[in-house]
Amino acid sequence: MSDTLVLLDHATDGSLRAPVRELVTIARDLPGAVRGVWVADGAEPSPATIAELGVLGVTHVHRLVADGDLHVAAALAAGLATLLAETGAHLVLAVSTFENKEAAGHLAVASGAAVVTDVDSVVWSDERLVAGKTVFAGTWTTSTAVRTPLAVITVKPNSVPVTDAPEPVTPQVGDHAVALDAGVGRVRLVERTEQPASDRPDLTSAHVVVVGGRGTEGDFSSVEELADVLGGAVGATRVATDEGWIGHEAQIGQTGVTISPRLYIGAGVSGAVHHRGGMQASGTIVAVNSDPDAPIFEIADFGVVGDLRTVLPQAAAELRRLKG
C-alpha cells in the first residue's frame, strides 16, 4: 500500500493543531510513509515544528502554494488532488472540522475517493482501510471499509493517545504549486477574521471540558473557575450561546462542536439529544443538575443532584486544596 497524506492544520502562528499529532500516530500504523501537507496560508512551520513532525515520523512536508486562497474548500481539494497524483498516496487524513469535511466532498468528486467522516480509528485490515466511528449520538459503534483505491477520512479529536515514532526522521520540505482552475475562483473569500487565541485549551482537542447550560442563568464564573482548576476548556449548550452568555463557537452539540474529551462536566445542562450528539462519546461524563430527572443523568458516570452555584465552587476549592 502507498503513503498517507496528513493535513497539517495549524494556527495563524504556525503551531500545529493538537489533533494533527493523533492523525500522524494513526497513519504511522498504516502501510506506507506518512507525508504531511502544509497549506501555505501565510503561517509557516517553525524549525521546531518540523523537528516535532520528524519525531512523530513524518517523512515529507509538502507545502501547498497557490495563487488563490487555499482556505476555500474547493481550492484545498484541488491542491490535495494534485498531491495525491504526484505522490501516489492513497489516503488523506484530516481533522474532522466543517472546513475539512467540505474539502472532502470536493476531493471525492474530483478524485473518485471514498469519504468517511468523524472516525475514531483507521486500520489496514484484509488489504483495505477500515475506519471505526460512533454514530447516532454516540449510541452505536460501526466499522466501515473503503472500497475504492483512494480515500479521504476525517478523524475526531481525542481519538487516540499520541505516540512518537520508534525512530525520528528528518522531514524533507518541498513546495508544490497548485494550479487553480477558473471554477475554483468562482468562490470569493471576501473576509476572513480569526478570533484571538484564548488562554484556555482549544475546545475540540481539550482533555477536559466544563460545559454550562441554562442552569447557569448566564453566570459562567463557576464553570470557568472549575475549568481553570482542571486546565480545561469551557463549552456551552445552544441555550447559553443563543442567550449570548458565551460565544457561538463554544456550542457543543449536533449543530455545534463535537467533542470527546477524557472528562466532560455538564453544569445546568439538561442533556437534550441535540446536545448529547456532540458529547456522548466523551470518556467520563459528570453532570451537576438540580433536577434528579434530568436526562443527562442517564448517561452520566458521576451525577450530582444539586445546585451548580454551590457544587462547582466547592469542587474547585477542594481540587485546589488537594493539589496543594
Partner 1 sequence: MRWKVAAVRRTEPFAPASVADGNVPGVRIVVCVKHVPDIQSDRSLGATCRTVRDGGDGTLNELDENALEAALSLVEAAGEGEVVVLTVGPDDAVDAVRKGLQMGADEAVHVVDDAIAGSDAIGTARVLAAAIRHLGGADLVVTGMAGLDGLTSVVPSALAALLDVPALPLAAELVLDGSTVRVTRHLDRVTEVLEADLPALVSVTDQANEPRYPNFKGIMAARKKPVTTLALADLGLDADQVGEAGARTEVLEAAPRPVREDRVLVHDTGDAGVRLAAYLVENQLV
Ligand X SMILES: Cc1cc2nc3c(=O)[nH]c(=O)nc-3n(C[C@H](O)[C@H](O)[C@@H](O)COP(=O)(O)OP(=O)(O)OC[C@H]3O[C@@H](n4cnc5c(N)ncnc54)[C@H](O)[C@@H]3O)c2cc1C
Indicate which of partner 1, ligand X, none lies near residue 301 (CB less than 5 to 8 Å, by partner kind).
partner 1
Written as nine digits, the cell of 129 is: 482501510
Minimum distance, C-beta of residue 16 to ligand X, in the bound complex (Å): 25
Minimum distance, C-beta of residue 38 to partner 1, in the bound complex (Å): 18
174 CB-side CA count, 13 A: 9
Does the annotation place 100 within a ligand binding site?
no
- Determine the size of the site formed for ligand X (CB under 6 A): 32
Q: Which residue of the chain is nearest ligand X when measured via CB?
A: 253
Written as nine digits, the cell of 259 is: 467533542
Indicate which of ligand X, partner 1, none lies near residue 294 (CB less than 5 to 8 Å, by partner kind).
ligand X
- 91 DSSP β-pair partners: 4, 151
Q: What whole-number distance in Å separates Cα of residue 63 and Cα of residue 83?
A: 10
Minimum distance, C-beta of residue 63 to ligand X, in the bound complex (Å): 29
Minimum distance, C-beta of residue 312 to ligand X, in the bound complex (Å): 9
Tell me: does residue 175 bind ligand X (CB under 6 A). Answer: no
Q: Which of residues 144-173 bind ligand X (CB under 6 A)?
A: none
Instruction: Assess contact for 319 and 222: CB atoms under 8 A.
Output: no
Does the annotation place 215 within a ligand binding site?
no
Q: Which of residues 235-294 bind ligand X (CB under 6 A)?
A: 237-240, 251-256, 268-270, 272, 274-275, 278, 288-291, 294
Does the annotation place 195 within a ligand binding site?
no
Q: What whole-number distance in Å separates Cα of residue 302 and Cα of residue 297?
A: 8
- Residue count of the chain, please give it: 324
Does the annotation place 255 within a ligand binding site?
yes
Does the annotation place 252 within a ligand binding site?
yes
Q: What whole-number distance in Å separates Cα of residue 265 and Cα of residue 287?
A: 6
Indicate which of ligand X, partner 1, none lies near residue 103 (CB less than 5 to 8 Å, by partner kind).
partner 1
Q: What whole-number distance in Å separates Cα of residue 159 and Cα of residue 153?
A: 13
Q: What whole-number distance in Å separates Cα of residue 261 and Cα of residue 203?
A: 9
Q: Which of residues 186-245 bind ligand X (CB under 6 A)?
A: 213-215, 237-240
Integer-rounded Cα radius of gyration of the chain = 21
For residue 207, the 8-state DSSP code is: S
59 or 254, CB closer to ligand X? 254
Does the annotation place 188 within a ligand binding site?
no
Minimum distance, C-beta of residue 129 to partner 1, in the bound complex (Å): 10
Reduced to 3 states (helix: H, G, I; strand: E, B; else coil), residue 29 is coil
Does the annotation place 284 within a ligand binding site?
no
Instruction: Assess contact for 90 and 1: CB atoms under 8 A.
Output: yes
The Cβ of residue 50 has, within 10 Å, a number of other Cβ atoms equal to: 18
Residue (of 66, 114, 57, 120) closest to 90 by Cα position: 114
Indicate which of partner 1, ligand X, none lies near residue 309 (CB less than 5 to 8 Å, by partner kind).
ligand X
28 or 238, CB closer to ligand X? 238
Which residues are annotated as part of the binding site for FAD? 214, 237-238, 251-255, 268-275, 289
**Interface with ligand X (CB under 6 A):** 115-117, 135, 213-215, 237-240, 251-256, 268-270, 272, 274-275, 278, 288-291, 294, 307-309
